[in-house]
Amino acid sequence: MSNVIQLLPDHVANQIAAGEVVQRPASVIKELLENSIDAKASRIQVIIKDAGKTLVQVVDDGVGMSITDSRMCFERHATSKIKLADDLFSLKTKGFRGEALASIAAIAHVELKTRSEEDEVGTCIKVEGSKVVSQDPCVTPKGTSICVKNLFYNIPARRNFLKSDNVETRHIIDEFQRVALAHPDINFSLTHNGSELFQLPATNVRQRITNIFGGKTNEKLVPVEEDTEIVKISGFVGKPEFAKKSRGEQFFFVNDRYIKSPYLNHAVVASFEGLLKEKSYPSYFLYLEVDPKSIDINIHPTKTEIKFDDEHALYAILKSAIKHSLGQFNVAPMLDFERDSELDTPYDYQNKAASAPQIEVDRNFNPFQNEGSSKPQFSGGNGFRREKPAQWESLYSGMQQETETEVDVKQIEFESEEVTGNLFGGREDEAEKSTFQLHKKYIVSTLKSGILVIDQHRAHTRVLYEELLKNITVSAAVSQQLLFPLRLQFNNHEVEMLKELKESLEQTGFIFSQIDKDEVEITGIPTLIPESEVQILLEQLLADFEKDVPHDGFSQTDLLAKSLAKSMAVRSGTLLNSTEQQHIVNRLFACKEPALNPFNKTVFITLSVDELDKKFA
């Protein structure tokens, strides 16, 4: 039998490794930023073109590399971070595997310029598909500059799997923010297609959060501090009233490394128990410092997951620390009530015994006796004397004269009041009603062949979806002007998304008078939306767009109509009167696709008489 196992060539092995390390342009930026931080850089610049597909460049002022190191850094498993296996359990650097640059160079055109402080001349190396094309001396400032061009040029199938520029840019911004939040003492900047997205000066954690997510974020933060033998916790959580409909602003950092941990996230959510609205997620920026020996970072290719020795203790400490902070800053309700000084007992009365009141009662007093009777009047212990009331019959004197004035009842106008629901069950004639509501969730109507059961939320969503789609396309929406403009706060990324959606939103009835970096002013809203729900609706819309960023104008319009219809539709549990029920039914069957809601869920079912007969067979 011939041998079938063979050693893979280096360029094939590098491409396989690149599949784990480099998934998209954002992965390249993460690896290069971590290398710059390990190089003790104080200023890092990130320059991208076409969402990183054409160019990703990271420039830092770190320690730089010598000629030998600049060549060795492109070799697989070549690293300066560890030397022994035991070093894996005392890591204090970002990278340690030595796969990043080798993997990137295997699938792109890479140009490296670097110079250490000791050298007078730097080194320029060009690598294409793991092959070193040139190595020359060059003039360059101290530090390192790496240009990654034409990502996945030799793997066209992988390049075709990349999303649109908007999606890839969003992933790049996410990675950039994670690294920038973990290192507030470093100056960061991000430029995309010549326009500057972020310019973050070196500062403290709170100011770095504010610089990234907008100036209004500062007032939403509650500090968290806890120091134990197991873990040191610092950072901030958002106030419950500013909870979002998406999980965007949730960050865990362990030893200045961003991680994802559903277990610790559950601890944070549990500490907000009773303070959050339904389907709302708290914001948090939490920094954990633990002994490097108590964690294992080497369990995931992207190093975003960590294994802790004692997760249960971390869970309990984190939960109690956040609860303590929320209570300390009067965000969560406390058991102790505030003391009212006016209720304190004066010093003069502290040791004084209570005196019983003395009351004299006239047992012979009769309020209905004649005026001529001279009986003693009631007298209390305080000397107060009650005057005897007049003859009780005189209370009704003059009533006969008032009743003689006739009042024309027909001329009285009563204010009409629309009753949306009867608290104790109405007395309407059920025979006259063609529909009725079941469990405040379903609308039941009769058919010639049986009964019809409609999901009220899905039905209303279908109706609104087709109406919104028509309004956006034809631009026939009606707006209601607001007496006082609405000023809503959003972070920088959300404001950019609103700018992209502005034209479509205006066609649904919104009127934007001003859009700043972190604030939006609205002077008109669609007639179907209450003013109090505009903030919630826009947050849900942005959350939907963040999950599924459309690629073209049609899908953007479709997603916008779906998101708005879902938020504006009547909810399950809402009481509807017979007129509202009938209105939804009539509008539903006037739709083009009444059987399915915009998300392809069943809207109604029918039960025939034959099916009902079988139930009683």
DSSP state of 288: E
Task: For residue 185, give Cα distances in angstroms to 32, 41, 192, 323.
Answer: 18, 10, 23, 29
On the question of pLDDT at 315 being above 60, the answer is yes
C-alpha 568/C-alpha 534 separation (Å) is 10
pLDDT tens sequence across 375-387: 455 444 444 555 5
Q: Grade residue 418 by pLDDT with cuts at 50, 70 and 90.
A: very low
Query: CA angle, 452 as apex, 449 and 455 as ends, to 5°?
Result: 170
Task: Say whether pLDDT at 211 is over 50.
Answer: yes
Cα gap 81→79, rounded to integer Å: 6
Which pair of tokens denotes residue 118? 């000791």
Amino acid letter, residue 593: E
Tokens representing residue 305 in the block: 């997951």
What CA–CA distance (Å, rounded) separates 608 from 585?
Answer: 18
Average pLDDT over residues 426-431: 43
- Higher model confidence: residue 471 or residue 433? 471
Domains of the chain: 10-200 (3.30.565.10), 207-328 (3.30.230.10), 436-605 (3.30.1370.100)
534's enclosing H/E stretch is: helix 534-547
Q: Is the pLDDT of residue 424 over 50?
A: no
Whole-prediction pTM = 0.68
Express each pLDDT in 490-517 by its tens digit. 877 778 888 888 888 888 888 888 888 7
Task: Give bridge partners of residue 524 from the DSSP assignment.
Answer: 481, 511
Is-contact 66 142, C-beta < 8 A?
no
Confidence of residue 102 (pLDDT cuts 50, 70, 90): confident
Q: In this predicted structure, what is the pLDDT of residue 416?
A: 45
Average pLDDT, the chain: 80
- Which of the four pLDDT bands, split at 50, 70 and 90, describes residue 115? very high
355-377 pLDDT, tens digit per residue, is 777 777 878 888 777 655 554 55
Per-residue b or e along 335-347, where b marks 16 or more CB atoms closer than 10 Å to that residue's CB: eeeeeeeeeeeee
At residue 405, does pLDDT exceed 70? no
| CA-wise closest residue to 322 among 240, 257, 263, 395 | 240
